[in-house]
A and B are shown apart, each in its own frame.
Chain A
Amino acid sequence: MTTTTTMLVAVFVLAFLNFCYKASGPVILGDRPLPPSFKALIDALPAALLAALITINLLGARWEHFDWRFMPGLAAAAALRLLGIAQIVCILVAVVGTAGLRALT
């Protein structure tokens, strides 16, 4: 198999498994209600995953991606969101703040 063919096979295998993962809920569970413990787990999963995604994205593997100049922009975005400012404005403030800080340092 050539490298290009191997790459194509890898892409299609990943796409197929991805399809199966996402279809698993409706196909396996159907209309059955979730047990309370599983419901509690599912309710908590987004918060845990989101917090982990943010942390991992900021730090990177072996913390090699960490840049302290992210922090003021993120803190400003969080504070503005807590004050009820629109999401897109919060994100723009984070972008402008981070770019500005990088330009200054």
Chain B
Amino acid sequence: MPSDTPPSEGWKAGIRVGVMIALAGLPISISFGAFAVSNGWPAAIVIVMSTIVFSGSAQFALVTGFASGGMIPAIASATLLNLRFIPLSIATASSLPGSKLRRAIEAQSIVDGAWFAAQRPDGTIDRPMLLTATLFQWPLWIAGTAVGALSKPSTEFVDKIGLDIVFPAFFLVILIDSLRARRPLIPIALAATAVAAISVHWLSAGVSLIVASFVALWAIRGTGEPS
């Protein structure tokens, strides 16, 4: 880990962030459980999925893909969506201590909300924040899935009380914090918004996410290396 990195915000900050992300993710996990069961998945398998996959977007993609084309398209769409974890893992590697095995295991704590929240202004990752935030999210994600799978609340109810706004609102405040610390990235965020909006009109959500992420290549200009 670089010696001049800013100090960690600590485990307590990680717990605070983890609880907030978990609460924000609760309506999504409940929706996922209900969605999967209504698509013919046994509740037990749905709960196992949330336990060992722990990736909302990929889980939705797996269930959707399974309903529309079987196992191969389902796995393809879900894994395509999770390709983003490769660059996130590479970006995290230098912030994790110990042997390769230990770091590979700690890297399993990389999930979107916790990873974005653990970003420091210098681009390194606040390890205590990442680990704690993920550890507090995980059981609530499983519990939410179980509630959804076993009780199947209607999506109309979730929408009526405004819980479907929690996920985008949470990511929006994190994005604002991130851009305030690194203003040169504002054009990249705006460009990614435009690319995502256009591509999701024609392509699936997973593919659109990957297409929009290519906007980040713009940042390579000015580093003196060919893009």
Contacts and interface: CB of A to CB of B under 8 A. Distances in A.
B166 A22 contact: no
A11 B104 contact: no
A37 B89 contact: no
Contacts of B20: 87-88, 91
B200 A48 contact: no
Contact of A47 (B164, B192, B195): B192
A90 B173 contact: yes
5 contacts: A9-B71, A23-B104, A24-B89, A56-B205, A103-B160
B218 A77 contact: no
Contacts of B104: 22-23, 26-27
Interface in B196-227: 196-197, 200-202, 204-205, 208-209, 212-213, 215-220, 222-227
Interface residues of A, number: 77
Interface in A15-63: 15, 17-19, 21-31, 33-63
A25 B174 CA distance: 24
B167 A57 contact: yes
Nearest to B163: A95
A11 B49 contact: yes
Nearest to A94: B169
A64 B176 CA distance: 26
Contact of A63 (B79, B165, B201): B201
A25 B185 contact: no
Interface in A63-83: 63, 70, 73-74, 77-78, 81-82
B45 A8 contact: yes
